[in-house]
Amino acid sequence: MHLNMLKCKIHRATVTHAELNYEGSIAIDGNLLDAAGMREYEQIHAWNIDNGERFVTYALRAEEGSGIISVNGSAARRVSPGDLLIIAAFVGLSEAELAKYQPDLVYVDADNRITHTNHSIPKQAA
């Protein structure tokens, strides 16, 4: 049996561009891709914190240190510059692989600069 687990995420990234007529995808600052362990052309899920829209596309590498989060193609209709996104990728793992499994979590500021990373999400309190 394989379980579909969170591989990595970039938390609260700010959309810098929405390019309807650019070939589809999300261009992501290469530093963020590397920190999260996302690969160019990997399938990603994006969740818009501001309007609740959710979509699936793939990652493209933007210039390292640029802070770019550009949502392109039809997905550009689901965001506006300034919106906050959670960008995540998933991986299928066997029961044996779960023993050493940890997701890579990247947290960013309003300029899409890394503030910190983690490998677990704090337990939610009541």
Which residues carry out catalysis? 25, 58
Task: Specify the residue for token string 């899920």.
Answer: 45
Task: Specify the residue for token string 């394989």.
Answer: 2
Q: Among 11, 28, 16, which residue's Cα sits nearest to residue 83?
A: 16
CA torsion through residues 15, 21, 24, 28, sign: negative
Q: Supply 49's token pair.
A: 């914190």
What's the DSSP call for residue 52?
Answer: -
Start-end of H helices in the chain: 30-36, 95-98
